[in-house]
Structures are given as structure tokens and as C-alpha cells.
């Protein structure tokens, strides 16, 4: 958005998160979480197969849950900084 005010231009900067960013964040977070889940599952069960099965199922469900959570929060204005105004000459 550009507003012309005399000789200077004022630009309002709005940050919006695209869905693909939310999806990539969900995957990267789940990779870290799934390694953690695998390690804990392996320690508890003593079996690599069970650790992998639990981590695999958990990764799929939590990617979907995180994506929905992130998209919902993308519409919540609470806690966001006010609009940034940049003046340029």
C-alpha cells in the first residue's frame, strides 16, 4: 500500500503468513519432535520397530494439527505489533 503525501511516499507494511510457510514450519518442527518421540519410544519399549511406528504415526497426525493451529493463529490479531509505517523521500 502506498500513500502519496507531498514529495515523500509513505508505505504501510503488512506481514501475512502464506499457507506454504505454515506447512514448511509444521514439517520442520515435526522432524525435530519425531526424533524426540522415537528416542523416548525406543527407551520405553526397547524396540526400534515400535519406536519408529509410534514416531511415524505421531508425525503425520501432528503435522496436520500444527498446520490447522498455525492457520487459525494467522487470523488472530492479538499480540501482533502495530502496523509499520515507512517514509521514503
pLDDT, one tens digit for every residue, the chain (89 residues): 444 445 555 545 556 778 888 888 888 888 999 999 999 999 999 999 999 999 999 988 988 898 899 889 888 888 877 766 677 66
Which of 55, 10, 1 has the alpha carbon at shortest distance from 32? 55
Domains in the chain, number: 1
The residue range of the domain holding 76 is 17-80
pLDDT, residue 4, reads 46
pLDDT, residue 3, reads 47
Instruction: Specify if 75 maps to a domain.
Output: yes
Instruction: Specify if 87 maps to a domain.
Output: no
Instruction: Specify if 7 maps to a domain.
Output: no
Instruction: Specify if 86 maps to a domain.
Output: no
pLDDT, residue 10, reads 52
For the whole model, what pTM was predicted?
A: 0.56
pLDDT, residue 38, reads 96
Amino acid at each position: 500500500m502506498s500513500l502519496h503525501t507531498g514529495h515523500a511516499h509513505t508505505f504501510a507494511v503488512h506481514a501475512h503468513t502464506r499457507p506454504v510457510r505454515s506447512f514448511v514450519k509444521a514439517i520442520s518442527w515435526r522432524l525435530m519432535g519425531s526424533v524426540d518421540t522415537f528416542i523416548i519410544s525406543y527407551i520405553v519399549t526397547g524396540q526400534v520397530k515400535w519406536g519408529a511406528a509410534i514416531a511415524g504415526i505421531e508425525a503425520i497426525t501432528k503435522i496436520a494439527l500444527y498446520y490447522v493451529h498455525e492457520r487459525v493463529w494467522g487470523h488472530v490479531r492479538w499480540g501482533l505489533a502495530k502496523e509499520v509505517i515507512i517514509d521514503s523521500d
